[in-house]
Structure 1
């Protein structure tokens, strides 16, 4: 489903993960379920905490996991904090990994994180708003190895791929879950006897009713550039980044935050 930006896509993931674990929250609210906690890296986007605040989970329920010197989440610290939370009686319900952090451009180790989420039965979300475009590149898509194991993924074509604002998608593995979470059975609007394929009627999957047709911008650009065109664009971006890095590191008066 397309949403008004990556922050909303990340919030959708949190909303759906909560519903998956405690479907009764939809009718009964937060008072009917245990204290939930989510986990994300200390370098993650602020929208993870904003989503927790908006959904009534609370920013104190978002536990920040330490990162290494390159800005990637440390899996051993994630597992340690999950165990600690469970010992306190909290219920871990979501891990939000980042594929391309805002400051360092770091990619969390998705395979290791997926293993931990599987072990503790926690929803794995990947915030690939910034770095998700690398999947279009055969040369660089390895940075997202493990993303195929995620329960949900945020992807913003309006970032690295250059699609005009706004163009942000949330991909969810389990079919029908978004609809179960968000539908309100408004029979006066979502009739079952329409003359077209009801799968195209996405209004009951989203929080919004009226929405922009953001997918059309992506479709037009994809038709114009093709997959190989997007791949060439992304490869060129990373080539230029490496060129600038090599220029700056050999120039007096500059100090690199990290090597490589």
Structure 2
């Protein structure tokens, strides 16, 4: 096994100074070959490139717009058989990397660092937690995904599978889109969840805008339901 570790960055240089050494330490503990790829904005907005050089991470500017475009850029750049992604703002503690790695058994397609499985916890605001639970419930039922936390991007995928799916969402809803399309690709999606504690970001402010976020998710929900129905009828 070898691991491509991807972080999507939008003015996260200060956070990366803290995270990159921690990520390297945890990846070293797996004993596997790895690469760390930081996907920055199309045009640099801070000194992320210099931070990457300092800590030996590969620096790449995203090819496509918004969060979804950065995610797709990361998939294209990954060259190893496992694809690990986590937030670059410090909300995902790298200390969980070894447990997530160990959970990727031969019969597992995807491992999620989960806030909502037994032992998991989130330190997000009450409003955000309520919204997250509602979102997870609706998408879980609508898409038939058997996991408790499907709106987090602390995940370990099989890179070959990721490269086979065509992803269209531009925003954070790509996290649900990829689950459905992996499920349709495989006939089923075998998921393991590892409990994590979700923390508040280290430095900077959240990049999520509430209204566009909600509208995007609603549109994606309807689109993905349509894809699922079409796939079922086509069998």
Shared fold per TM-score greater than 0.5: no
Name the TM-score, length of structure 1 as normaliser: 0.29
Q: Which has the larger radius of gyration?
A: 1
Name the TM-score, length of structure 2 as normaliser: 0.31
Larger RCO (alpha carbons 8 Å, 6+ apart): 2
